[in-house]
Structure 1
């Protein structure tokens, strides 16, 4: 029984990995300065964030349509018996609803859709596990059971470098952003139960990074996510390794759909 894995672009997988494992990525879209773009793959985001830093406008994002998911399902069934769809949190995007709507158009087919309640590297963890389970002969029910249990163990923290992009995206008021930037406030944002909320507010970037390290507990695997600040991510990795010397920590990228609200120089960590 062969199982196809489908996800969306906010897992920020590499194109090489997607092609190697025959994963289908149904991308989200974003509109910037009047032009619509399809979100790409890891390694393709630098030009976008350079433009975002220089622009006074702010992008809008949109989920894939049900039609795009339906097309992906039909193509998958040409080769596979079952489909597992794992997408970003339904509390961050309507992507999950589009995937469900497409399934209802093909009601007699074996399609399992999972709301990951996650995104970025946390979503990537789930995709990688699903791929390995499928390669080991597990069916879609067995994979879904594993993923549903695993997703509750995922932790995500993010640290914007500035409040400017949270302001532009309407997440905080201009007054809050101006005061926060003036006194160098760094919010530590958590993804909890699929929603982004401010966990703590810390003064100064170094203090905020040290606090994030304190908050990372019982890590078995971790990925640092960054936007145009790879050198800072390396330093952050070194800080984490003082606490977890044997932990293998990857460094990854965040793309336009999620990264626009955090802004260039933002970092985060996903772990379990």
Structure 2
């Protein structure tokens, strides 16, 4: 059996430690300010991105990894006699998966397996960790793809947004909605379902009220949640992370509760203070 290499992109929001532990390689997307282009998490981190937003008073444009980016990394591992499994940002959020398919076609290889996560952020990360576990168990690349494909619709990604400015500036919210949301201090819950973002419940007041909605939903569903991996992912919201962690610590069934930081691409769309709880249903 050939060796297996798992690859993702920079939107998976897994920590450096997890990427190294499970030997997952990353293809960066791009964050663009006017004529300046940065590779997500290579040339630019989230804190620096927010400083540039303030400096230029504008949001960056994000762009997909190119077919050439994928060709380079795919060929590297094919030449080393690996089979490749790529799990990245959902096809409805980015053209990145299309680039991966183009590279696969260019290489004309049956040893490249592409999975549409229909998700973003550590919703992708959860699938990567499952794939890494299956790899450790000795499953073939074909078997890993089959099992991960079955998990895709079971991933639950939801975030509470602290500021509506980024959704408005990014064209995902009308000016009136942004204004009313600011006046009423609305903190919407954004959920990823079927490969798209949908608005769930809305809290009014400070962000803790929105976080409590996430926590309460998790507690209600806990008996039906796969306890192996649970993610708390945030964009410079460490205090909120500690609050969630403290509230979930009594749920002893959780085997691995990970904190991860939202990268530049994800943060550029949701804004500072955003935080989410992500998990897989049984």
Q: TM-score, length-normalised on structure 2?
A: 0.89
CA distances 1:246-267 after superposition (whole Å, capped 9, x unpaired)? 4343221101111111101111
Q: Between 232-241 and 86-95, report the one with greater CA deviation.
A: 232-241
Going from structure 1 to structure 2, the CA distance change for 1:222 and 1:15 (only over 3 Å counts) comes to closer
Mapping for residues 123-162 of structure 1, pairs under 5 Å: 123-162=124-163
Q: CA RMSD in A?
A: 1.9
Indicate whether 1:234 and 2:234 are aligned: no
Aligned 8 A contact 1:11 1:121 in 2 = yes
Equivalences for 1:34-53 in 2 at 5 Å? 34-40=35-41, 44-53=45-54
Paired position in structure 1 for 2:95: 94
Q: Give the Cα separation in 2 of the matches to 1:137 and 1:239.
A: 36
Q: Report deviation, 1:130.
A: 1.6
* Unpaired segments ≥5 residues, structure 2: none
Q: 2:214 aligns with which of 212, 215, 218?
A: 212
In 2, distance between residues paired with 1:101 and 1:83? 15
Q: Answer yes or no: is the 8 Å Cα contact 1:32–1:58 preserved in 2.
A: yes
Equivalent residues in 2 for 1:75-114, closer than 5 Å:
75-114=76-115
**Alignment deviations for residues 146-186 of structure 1 (CA, whole Å, 9 cap, x no partner):** 10112222101111111111011010011110111101111
Shift of 1:44: 3.8
Q: What is the rounded CA distance, in whole Å, between the counterparts of 1:231 and 1:98 in structure 2?
A: 37
User: Does the aligned pair in 1 maintain the 2:92–2:196 contact within 8 Å?
Assistant: yes
SS at match of 1:84: strand
**1:260 aligned onto 2:262:** no
Give 1:33 shift.
4.3
Instruction: Measure, in 2, the Cα distance between the counterparts of 1:120 and 1:98.
Output: 19
- Structure 1 unaligned regions, length at least 5: none
Matched residues in 2 for 1:92 and 1:108: separation?
26
Distance 2:26 2:81 in 1: 16
Counterpart CA distance in 2 for 1:126 and 1:253 is 17
Normalized against structure 1, the TM-score is what?
A: 0.92
Distance 2:94 2:109 in 1: 26
C-alpha contact 1:53 1:264 (8 A) present in aligned 2: no
* Further displaced range: 66-75 or 215-224: 215-224
Whether the aligned pair in 2 keeps the contact of 1:226 and 1:253 (CA below 8 Å) is yes
In structure 2, relative to structure 1, the CA distance for the partners of 1:53 and 1:212 (3 Å cut) is farther
Q: 2:61 maps to which residue? A: 60
